[in-house]
Structure 1
Amino acid sequence: MATALLLLLQLVSLASASHHYGGTVTYSYKGRNPDGSFRVDFRNRVTHDGCQYSHSQTCSTGNCGLVTNQQRSITDRSTNAPQSNRQWCETETVEQRKVPTDKPFDMRASSCCWIRTRNGVSGWRFQTQVDLGSRSDTGKPNRSPDIAILPFLRVPQNCPRTYKLMSFDPDGDTVRCRYGDIRNIECSGCNLPSGFVLEQGSCSLHYRNAIANPSVFGFELVVEDFPQRPISLSYTDGTQSYKAPLNPMRHKRASFQTYPPTTAAPTTTAAPTRTVAPTTTTDNRHLHGTTPLSKLPLQFSFLVDPPAPSCVDGLYLPKFVHPTPEDGQHINAEVNKEVEIRVRAQASHATLHDIIISGPLNITKHRSTRGDFVIRWTPGPDDVGDHYPICFAVESVIDPASTLPPQTTIYYGLHSHVTQSPQSGIYQSEMRCVLVNIGQRLIESHVTCHESSMTVEVERSSLPGLHEDHLRLSDPSNTACNLQTNSNSTHIIAVVPLNACGTQIEEDEENLVFKNEITTVDNIHDLVTRNHLLEVQFYCQYPKRGNVSQGFTAHRRNVVVWDKGFGKFTYEFEFYPDSQYRQMIDPGLYPLEYDVTNRIFMQIEAKSTANNTQLFVESCSAAPYDTPNYWPTYSIIENGCNLDQTVQVHRSANPRQFRFSMEAFQFIGLHDQVYISCSVLMCEAGSSGTRCSQGCINSPLTGHHHHRKREAITQSARHFISQGPLRLKRSAESTGSPATPLNLNLVFIVGCLLAAAGMISAVALYKVRASKVKYQPLASFEN
């Protein structure tokens, strides 16, 4: 039994390490624990072809201590890979370690296998070297370089490109990026792929030329830091060690390789080809006497795609434009305040598809309906003094009308070429990395989101020497935007309407975001200023979607969609006697009863003064019971399309109102009541590309959807509020002929028998047993 269990664990370990795309490891010294031990945080970032995989490091030399806490989250995932299941997923695991001594130690992780590589890399090897001795120049333990790269890079075969690997050292040390050269410890293949040049001092990787192939190059780099002048490291046991600067005299050997010209489409413009490219490598043997302060693994996958029609950025390959930050830019951030990085790109001959990112734990990415990408991350109190790199690239997909000519000659290697039909591809922009520096919170502010406004309160004590006379919102022309109106002796307070004071609205897949800022000016009536001493940016985020449920037995309070820390919109679901919608039905008259000949008039309204928003009702369904996940339900509206043939939509001048009506019905069977539930969302009014602007999205059964019987649908219980049911008047109160229901029921029974005759008996029997209740709307003349 024990042997079988051990074998199983070994298989699980191999599975978790398989399909490796790359990864990095960094560490951060966090101070002494009360018992004198050392706290060190390790950030282990790895990429596999599934999000369920991860790996852990083991101690190889020295005393590595114990793990006291661990967090793990998904950083990013994509389906742009050419192999296996066509996906990759990057996760980061943060381990807090309690280390009893400040002496050096090594941690390692290794297993099999990389995804299929073309340069002989099979198993992967990580080595992390840590030395916590106190430096003579800073008086503190060494801090490792902050390194980062995207886990999956790709480039067209015919487009040379340079990648600057993020390698910032918080101690100001010299950082070197080299290819691993200790087999089975630092690397598996230990050879820099042909067609690439690695500049070790600047950590720059140059892609020159390689043949397109669905297999990737596996890169196994090592990042090391060296002091700029000789220093000593002192340990608590009284011993010392010495570290020397990196020897500037590097023994280089250079070779020159001749590459063939690479040809793209004859009618397009390709980047100039290079017939001669130097490949420089470094002999590391002379460095045996120069040991680094730390050693970190840096591994990633690199895919060479078929040639692009053009290598000019902005045509097929996305080109970054303002306000995208520059590569290497430093961004200052404060604890518990969200960092927002806005990325914008353009590609005139392709469609922007996605942004891929790599960053710290709990980073998120969004895409606005205007096409911008937004990266957000909130540092915590434990991040003060640390530096976090964030890397990103935008990917585009080629438009069908912009493909290569039907037959294109493409060169592969020195003398060979093939003629192939072009295929649509994915094009990746340049990679950019920024560094986020975490400091203490400087400005104490608090934002409260209301139904139609935002309130921001800023402590005066955090704004020394500044008065509200020299502070203003984005647009102070409205008297409601004057900061003096609500401020007091301790706080500067702004109550900002969602539709005034220069408030901007943005939209992504899930939320509406209203933004504004308080800035310093020489004169509050100035339109511009060159003396911005302060910028307090704030926003309220409102979930667009919510399930609004309303019945008819009692009239309760309005439905509010609310999430902690976010804003809220209030939705009202009322019933009216006719299509004029002048006066809603008195709540005291509930429960409401209808004949099947009656039409039910309903209105859903989003209560908000923001005049740049609109309401969209995505779906409505009916069920005989007051349960959010009751099965089955009858669809009235689905994907914005009217499924019930009696539904009519009535116009309203208010974009936040939705008026509709339908004929009363009941469920076939013993049910004499109906509950209605609708899923609604809010959008930016007039903005193209939103779910609201798309309207009805037809199902594959377009043209027949009003006969469709709705399958099971599960609705979120988070916003489900019961106020049902709607009741039909009994037969004694109705005017229909007593013979009519019998005839209809006979027709219905005959139809069911004919349908059952066409089925396999076993399936038919299963259907009868599994579905006790059949349902459909009754005709208007049926009781």
Structure 2
Amino acid sequence: MASTKVLLLQLLLVSVISVVSASHYWGASTTFTYKGNNSDGTHKVRFRYRDTFDQCFWSLSWRCTSGNCGYVSGSKRTVIDSSNNGPKFDRLLCETETVVTRNVPSDKPFQLRADSCCWIGTRNWVVHWDVLTGVDLGKRSDTGEPNKSPDVTILPFLRIPQNCPRTYKLMTFDPDGDDVRCRYGNLRNIECSRCDRPAGFHLDEDSCTLHYISSTANPKVFGFEMMVEDYSKGHINLFYSDGSWSHRHPWPRRRSKRAVSYPTTAARPWWIPAATPWPTTTTMTTTQRPITPYAPTPPLSQLPLQFSFLVDPPAPSCVEGVYLPKLVHPTPIHGEKIHAEVDSSMEIRVKAQASLAVIQGIIISGPSNVTKHKTTHNEFVIRWTPTADDLGEFFPICFAVESATGPGVIRPPVAIHSHSHSHFHPTPTSRSGLYHSEMRCVVVEVKRKIVQSHVICNESSMTILVEKASFSRLSEDHLRLNDPSNTICNLTSNSTHVIGVVPLNQCGTQIEEDDDNLIFKNEITTYEDMRNVITRKHLLEVRFYCQYPKHGKVSQSFSVHRKNVTVWEKGMGTFTYGFEFYEDNSYRAMINPNSYPLEVEIGTELYMKIEATSSINNTEMFVESCRAAPYDNPNYRKPYIIIANGCKVDPTVDIYPRAHNKQFLFSMEAFKFIGLHDQILH
């Protein structure tokens, strides 16, 4: 009698994405931070190199070309963002950040350079790239410390319809409060390759503002080769350890203003008939001021800023919120300063709307380990957790939202109301296009953790513990959760901590989800009167959340009974799943685990149930895939596929109605692998 043992059933809820690309350059930027002296007397300088290529493993190779650049003592590279929405012939792009620590023996100025080939296809004939970083570690007379470079960030790829003028305020925050200027590179083969000033653009060097005025559409990009430099606002000296010094004075002050107008082509909306009169020009104004007579001064630092800019065919409308995404609340304003704490996650919420296009995604640029997610509230969330090494530094984060139109792109349903009911009709768009919103950038300042707290996540609740000693004014008598109306939502305390045990479904806990996680949020805030919903003495706000992965693995075996297998992520919450076998399709009599391992004949019907033990409402069990292997190895190279993408592949599989959404009931006929394998692992 042939028999078989079913040893492991594995549900794989993991999606794998892979891309293939080739090597080309989109742009780069650099910042640096003085991190103090090492024990051997050398100076520690941390560089952040952001490079964008069309593969994620490429990065620039820097070399010392002037002064004593010391040596590299540490380097780490991470992917910041990637996209396949580039120009027609170079769709893939990937931005990485390489954090490099150099130990420099001298505080005298030095320069680093990188150059090679080749840019992606550019319409202004930029082929090779040349980038320069200039550092001066002399001690400033106004701060008593070496100069801090500006924090420079721009999205490495920008796009605009040819008929839509737009202004881009480049993010150039300076920690020392210096004046920051942006200019086109002018030293060929050092600061730039062609040192080109793209036609159709105007750069206001004093404010680091780039104006797109007009150009023709082209599938190739403009390659921008720019430099960012900082200048003290007052007269200062830089002192060096060898006893020498140098003087710096402000950039020449500006006195008067005069307006400069730029004629631009206005877009005729596609729905306006050609015979209808329509304005053909608009006026954009910038300013120039005559300078004072004394000569410019050397900059305190020099940083490269290179990026790609694509001019697309005309848009039917340049009004933001129609085709071009319009950023709306709660999106922060450009230049907003956000505070973050060491080892605490911070988030930036971004939302956009476009009535005749579909909001498709978000592109970002920021520090290493920054992430982006789209929530079920049609918002994008940018998250970042600074480390102790980031304390006291400033980190810019830039973003823009993408929208899309064209065949196959479905706009959100439009409600058509009648007297008794509503009908919803998805409306396909008829014109093709990809559009960027305006670019906004914020600055994140990293501070010490003010209030020490800790969150514990389990399957039905979150536990928040706040140290009393870390906040001297902390009193549990004036602290509350989002919704304290239920007695179960009261905070308690002991001699050292204020404690809250918060159910995932109560106390005002908010739930959101993205592609990979369920996120439960709440907060502890101060109050004056429990009867009031407002306060004017908001001394404390401790926000906390638990994040649960929506994808996981669960397994079961005939040879050894496993009661439950827990899905977990480091630092996250956990969900638990039960996996049992039953005698028939009524699912009333569970097979006694003590009778394992079971021996069954080939062709025997096996009845199985998987059930989530979580008490969270509005969630559903979904089995994405199921496969079998002759060994207890989930990565076995030639598994037998039973279920794939939620659909039955094995012809003997039957799926049965379930009592609730947290169950999955199914059966299949037992089988045997060909060969010497008597045991089968699912």
TM-score (norm 2): 0.88
Secondary structure of 1:588's counterpart equals helix
Q: Which amino acid aligns with 1:550?
A: Q
Q: Distance in 2 between matches of 1:434 and 1:260?
A: 31
Secondary structure of 2:566's counterpart equals strand
The residue number in structure 1 matching 2:217 is 212
The residue number in structure 1 matching 2:18 is none
Secondary structure of 2:91's counterpart equals coil
Q: Distance in 1 between matches of 2:54 and 2:294?
A: 37
Q: State the 1:401 CA deviation.
A: 7.8
| 138, 144, 147: which one aligns with 2:149 | 144
Deviations 1:48-83 (A, max 9, x none): 121121112222211111111111111111111115
Q: Distance in 1 between matches of 2:409 and 2:643?
A: 38
Deviations 1:185-221 (A, max 9, x none): 2222223211111111211111110000011111111
Segments of structure 1 that go 5 or more residues without pairing to the other structure are 1-15, 404-421, 677-783
Q: How does 1:161-240 map to 2 (within 5 A)?
A: 161-240=166-245
Q: State the 1:23 CA deviation.
A: 1.0
Secondary structure of 2:221's counterpart equals strand
Deviations 1:534-567 (A, max 9, x none): 1111111112222222122332231111222111
Are the aligned partners of 1:636 and 1:644 in contact in 2 as well (CA < 8 Å)? yes
Q: Distance in 2 between matches of 1:40 and 1:278?
A: 41
Cα–Cα, structure 1 residues 258 and 500, in superposed 2: closer, same or farther, change >3 Å? closer
Q: Which amino acid aligns with 1:515?
A: K
The residue number in structure 2 matching 1:717 is none
More displaced, 51-60 or 86-95?
Answer: 51-60
The residue number in structure 2 matching 1:13 is none
Secondary structure of 1:382's counterpart equals helix
Q: How does 1:251-650 map to 2 (within 5 A)?
A: 263=268, 265-267=270-272, 274=281, 289-400=296-407, 424-484=432-492, 487-594=493-600, 598-630=604-636, 632-650=638-656
Cα–Cα, structure 1 residues 29 and 668, in superposed 2: closer, same or farther, change >3 Å? closer
Q: Distance in 1 between matches of 2:259 and 2:23?
A: 36
Deviations 1:574-595 (A, max 9, x none): 1122333334221112223445
Q: Which amino acid aligns with 2:438?
A: E
Are the aligned partners of 1:393 and 1:432 in contact in 2 as well (CA < 8 Å)? yes
How many residues are treated as equivalent by the alignment? 641
> Where is the helix percentage greater, Structure 1 or Structure 2?
1
Q: State the 1:481 CA deviation.
A: 1.4
Cα–Cα, structure 1 residues 507 and 257, in superposed 2: closer, same or farther, change >3 Å? closer
The residue number in structure 1 matching 2:49 is 44
Deviations 1:141-164 (A, max 9, x none): 111111110000000011111111
Are the aligned partners of 2:90 and 2:120 in contact in 1 as well (CA < 8 Å)? no
Cα–Cα, structure 1 residues 529 and 645, in superposed 2: closer, same or farther, change >3 Å? farther
Secondary structure of 2:304's counterpart equals strand
Q: State the 1:330 CA deviation.
A: 0.5
Rg: which structure is higher?
1
Are the aligned partners of 2:130 and 2:191 in contact in 1 as well (CA < 8 Å)? yes
RMSD: 2.8
Q: State the 1:388 CA deviation.
A: 0.2
Cα–Cα, structure 1 residues 137 and 597, in superposed 2: closer, same or farther, change >3 Å? closer
More displaced, 659-668 or 441-450?
Answer: 659-668
Secondary structure of 1:545's counterpart equals coil
The residue number in structure 2 matching 1:20 is 25
Q: State the 1:646 CA deviation.
A: 3.5
TM-score (norm 1): 0.77
Are the aligned partners of 1:50 and 1:87 in contact in 2 as well (CA < 8 Å)? yes
Are the aligned partners of 2:252 and 2:296 in contact in 1 as well (CA < 8 Å)? no
Are the aligned partners of 2:267 and 2:316 in contact in 1 as well (CA < 8 Å)? no
Q: State the 1:252 CA deviation.
A: 11
Cα–Cα, structure 1 residues 129 and 668, in superposed 2: closer, same or farther, change >3 Å? closer
1:79 aligns with 2:84: yes
Secondary structure of 2:155's counterpart equals coil
Q: Which amino acid aligns with 1:514?
A: F
The residue number in structure 1 matching 2:107 is 102
Secondary structure of 1:480's counterpart equals helix
Segments of structure 2 that go 5 or more residues without pairing to the other structure are 1-20, 411-429
Cα–Cα, structure 1 residues 463 and 626, in superposed 2: closer, same or farther, change >3 Å? same
Secondary structure of 1:615's counterpart equals coil
Are the aligned partners of 1:30 and 1:39 in contact in 2 as well (CA < 8 Å)? yes
Are the aligned partners of 1:623 and 1:675 in contact in 2 as well (CA < 8 Å)? yes
Give the fraction of aligned pairs with identical amino acids, expressed as a percent. 59
Q: Distance in 2 between matches of 1:362 and 1:527?
A: 37
Secondary structure of 1:298's counterpart equals strand
Are the aligned partners of 1:560 and 1:570 in contact in 2 as well (CA < 8 Å)? yes
Are the aligned partners of 1:17 and 1:54 in contact in 2 as well (CA < 8 Å)? no
Q: State the 1:292 CA deviation.
A: 1.4
Deviations 1:290-309 (A, max 9, x none): 21111111111100000111
Q: Distance in 2 between matches of 1:184 and 1:288?
A: 25
More displaced, 637-646 or 264-273?
Answer: 264-273
Q: Distance in 2 between matches of 1:619 and 1:271?
A: 57
